[in-house]
């Protein structure tokens, strides 16, 4: 009886020879494949010693193809436990990227070489390293589950970090307007799109994300306290309307400027009056859809029909709605507000996120640092006693210098 591990055809295999019966099982490639093959060989050896002949028997059924298993993984592992937006993210990654590459392959025919080629193809298509990293992370998660289910001995999508780990500067994606430019945008929306005046002002004056802005309901406003509560985020997908928790997973309070709060209160009165005239219940959403007030406004519609047409009318370059959030944080910090306050207003998960994005904008931060350094060095220098002898004339200094009588 023998169970051996051997490299063959670019992979590591387990070869079994037991009482005249022979069987070979391909395990994987590279160092990870060798290690997995050695572990499998030990287990098979132990089972044969115990009289278990199942390692010599053909599998009960072939491994499922990747597309069937991946879709079942989303339905059973992701959908019941994660946010709808997260589920939608995984579905899109699989349908647009992973399934075209691996969809019809049985799980046990997905190789490290295939994954490496997949990464190279996505890089050649000019996808960012961040995007490719997400694609491989999704593929790895699916195949990890296959390992746990006993369908694979090892995961061929692991340990590709050297191809993927490249930290992009988060500041590269920060675009912010000046206070004067914001004023131009607000003047333009008041002139050209007055029905969206409060919405655009809210984006610039509270820094809420666009999904959070469209997810606001009248019950989220605290007029007396002067703040709003971000409790949900909304999004539209083809045939679906998604409501989820904020990105941080928790509710937060955001201070609202007094003039804006007064405008929102007045807007609520107008909306209630319109509902009475139209013979319907008032919408609970601050910014409802035009055709169906029972639903919030679709951000994609707003972006196409209001936001992007508005910018050239204000003489502003094309920026994203999310850049109103960057503008809010930038102007607060440039006004000298504490970065901790900005972090709380934005709802970042940690102060490090805020510092990474906006720390370079804190006025005088670098100047204060170098001033402190110079002061510390100056304080450490020895200062001569006022009563001690003063240094000699420069001509009298030096080793072995001759003092000349010039009288």
From residue 21, give the alpha-carbon distance in Å to each of 1, 15, 122, 229, 339. 9, 11, 45, 70, 71
The token pair that represents 217 in the structure block: 């309901």
The better pLDDT of the pair 366, 205 is held by: 205
Lowest mean pLDDT: which of 87-96, 120-129, 348-357, 369-378? 369-378
- Average pLDDT (282-290) is 95
**What pLDDT score does 274 carry?**
93
Give domain 66-168's CATH number out of 1.10.3710.10, 2.40.110.10, 3.30.565.10, 1.10.150.130: 1.10.150.130
CATH no. for 173-361: 1.10.443.10
Neighbour-count burial for 12-46, b at 16+ CB within 10 Å, e otherwise: bbbbbebeeeeeebbbbbbebbbebbeebbeebbe
- Residues in CB range of 312: below 8 A, 6 or more apart: none
The better pLDDT of the pair 52, 176 is held by: 176
104-137 pLDDT, tens per residue?
A: 999 999 999 999 999 999 989 988 888 888 999 9
- Residues in CB range of 91: below 8 A, 6 or more apart: 74
**What pLDDT score does 171 carry?**
64
Q: Is the pLDDT of residue 75 over 50?
A: yes
The better pLDDT of the pair 57, 391 is held by: 57
Q: How many residues does the chain have?
A: 407
Q: Is the pLDDT of residue 41 over 80?
A: yes
Q: Is the pLDDT of residue 192 over 90?
A: yes
| Pair 82, 89: CB distance under 8 Å | no
So where are the chain's domains? Answer: 2-56, 66-168, 173-361
**What pLDDT score does 169 carry?**
57
Question: Interhelix angle for 339-346 vs 322-334, to 10°?
Answer: 160
Element (H, E) at 221: strand 221-222
The token pair that represents 229 in the structure block: 């509560």
Mean pLDDT of the chain: 85
From residue 340, give the alpha-carbon distance in Å to each of 206, 250, 328, 362. 15, 17, 14, 12
Q: Among residues 329, 313, 303, 306, which one has the least CA distance to residue 177?
A: 329
* Structural Rg of the chain based on CA atoms: 33
CA distance 74 to 141: 10
Q: Among residues 270, 264, 274, 275, which one has the least CA distance to residue 222?
A: 264
Q: Is the pLDDT of residue 93 over 90?
A: yes
The answer to whether the 66-168 and 173-361 domains have the same CATH topology is: no
Alpha-carbon dihedral 229, 326, 304, 255, rounded to 10 degrees: 20
CA distance 274 to 256: 25
From residue 406, give the alpha-carbon distance in Å to each of 394, 395, 399, 403. 15, 12, 20, 9
- CB-side neighbour CA atoms (13 Å) of 317: 6
- CB neighbour class for 139 (10 Å; exposed up to 12, middle 13-18, buried from 19): buried
């Amino acid at each position: 009886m023998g169970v051996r591990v051997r490299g063959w055809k670019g992979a590591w295999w387990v070869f079994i020879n037991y009482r005249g019966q022979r069987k070979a099982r391909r395990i994987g490639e590279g160092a990870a494949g060798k290690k997995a093959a050695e572990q499998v060989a030990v287990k098979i050896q132990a089972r044969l010693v115990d009289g278990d002949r199942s390692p010599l028997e053909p599998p009960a059924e072939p491994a499922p193809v990747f597309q069937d298993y991946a879709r079942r993984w989303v339905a059973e592992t992701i959908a019941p436990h994660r946010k709808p937006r997260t589920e939608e993210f995984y579905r899109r990654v699989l349908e647009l990227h992973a399934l075209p590459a691996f969809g019809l392959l049985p799980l046990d025919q997905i190789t490290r070489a295939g994954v490496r080629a997949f990464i190279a193809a996505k890089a050649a298509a000019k996808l960012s390293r961040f995007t490719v990293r997400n694609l491989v992370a999704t593929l790895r998660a699916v195949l990890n589950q296959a390992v746990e289910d006993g369908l694979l001995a090892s995961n061929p999508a692991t340990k590709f970090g050297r191809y993927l780990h490249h930290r992009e500067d988060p500041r590269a994606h920060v675009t912010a307007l000046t206070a004067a430019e914001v004023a131009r945008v607000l003047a333009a929306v008041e002139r050209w799109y007055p029905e969206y005046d409060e919405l655009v002002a809210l984006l610039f004056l509270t820094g809420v994300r666009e999904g959070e802005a469209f997810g606001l309901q009248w019950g989220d406003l605290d007029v007396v306290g002067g703040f709003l509560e971000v409790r949900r985020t909304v999004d539209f997908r083809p045939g679906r309307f998604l409501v989820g928790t904020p990105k941080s997973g928790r509710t937060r309070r955001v201070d609202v400027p007094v003039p804006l709060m007064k405008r929102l209160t007045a807007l609520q009165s107008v909306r209630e009056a319109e509902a009475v005239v139209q013979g319907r219940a008032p919408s609970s959403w601050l910014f409802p859809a035009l055709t169906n007030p029972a639903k919030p406004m679709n951000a994609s519609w707003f972006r196409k029909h209001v936001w992007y047409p508005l910018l050239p009318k204000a003489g502003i370059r094309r920026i994203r709605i999310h850049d109103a959030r960057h503008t809010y944080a930038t102007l607060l910090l440039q006004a000298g507000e504490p970065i901790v306050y900005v972090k709380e207003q934005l709802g970042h998960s940690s102060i490090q996120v805020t510092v990474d994005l906006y720390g370079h904008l804190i006025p005088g931060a670098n100047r204060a640092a170098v001033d402190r350094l110079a002061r510390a060095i100056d304080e450490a220098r020895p200062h001569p006693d006022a009563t001690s002898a003063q240094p000699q004339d420069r001509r009298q200094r030096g080793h072995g210098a001759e003092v000349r009588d010039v009288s």
